[in-house]
Homo-oligomer: A and B are copies of this chain.
Amino acid sequence: MSLLAVGTVAFDALETPFGKTDKIIGGSATYISLSASYFTKKVNLVAVVGDDFRKEDINMMEKHGINTKGLQIKQGQKSFFWAGRYHNDMNTRDTLVTELNVLADFDPIIPEEYQNCEYLMLGNLTPSVQKTVIERLRNRPKLIMMDTMNFWMNVALPELLDVLKMVDVLSINDEEARQLSGEYSIRKAAKKILTLGPRFLIIKKGEHGAYLFHQNSVFFAPALPLEEVCDPTGARDTLAGGCIGSLARTRVLSFENMKRGIIYGSAMASFCVEKFGTERIVHLSKDELESRVQEFVDLVQFEIAMG
């Protein structure tokens, strides 16, 4: 069923050990909706850009079946812009430029035709904006997944805790899980965070894979060792997008199906990092995706006869 993706649509300028880009399309909602579009054809976007945003980038999203009616275009204003440089290990990066521009007063307006969306993915945004989105939906979605980051834990923790109570799935990385819980052990951190609202917790470890925690169970989705990692930008949103996209297609909210969702999301993320920005996930064939998912299956498959 239909999915609503809310987050940023923006310009990024990226520099990694493998090269650099001019201003290219980026933003959490971009990666989320592109990734989800490989699993469901009903992706609805809510975001804001300035009048400097390129028509061809919007066309590209529409070609992926993404409904851009909820993409506000602010005349006389500029799009959110982020420039960053990744270090050799690709796990750490320096922010060179952050220009909030249109994002500074983003008011997430939900088009009428988006009401009744059953799956909601809240990309990383001010917690109060995430909350507003939930409040503006007349019916609570079947599943609300959200992403956030350490920055909001530092500057808006009460608001963040407030939204957390309203969501089903939280997706953060290991450092953020430690900060949010005050526990160093990921296992203990997960246990605490699962008391804050979400029923499912995804803890991403970048090149080291991702955990899914639910009640007393834990699942681990490995990261595929790739020959080349060109640019990690967008990987976490691509993972989340693939995950919720596959859930929206299959409509089953069990732990077993969440596991599959994380594997699909991880497969999408593994493509994402192979080239700069969205370049690799803009043109993926069904065969490429299926054979990549099969690589994940093979990567962890073993048989143990106990006793």
Contact = CB atoms under 8 A, between A and B. Distances in A.
Interface in A258-286: 259-260, 263
Contact of A209 (B222, B226, B260, B293): B222
Q: Contact size class for A?
A: 35 or more
Contacts of A226: 185, 187
A186 B89 CA distance: 12
Contacts of A290: 306-307
A263 B219 contact: no
Given A208-B209, A220-B222, A260 B227 contact: no
A205 to B, nearest CB: 7
A225 B186 contact: yes
Given A225-B187, A299-B220, A304 B208 contact: no
A293 B303 CA distance: 11
A220 B300 contact: yes
A228 to B, nearest CB: 6
17 contacts: A185-B229, A187-B226, A208-B208, A208-B209, A218-B225, A219-B299, A219-B301, A220-B222, A220-B225, A220-B299, A220-B300, A256-B302, A259-B302, A263-B302, A290-B306, A293-B304, A300-B300
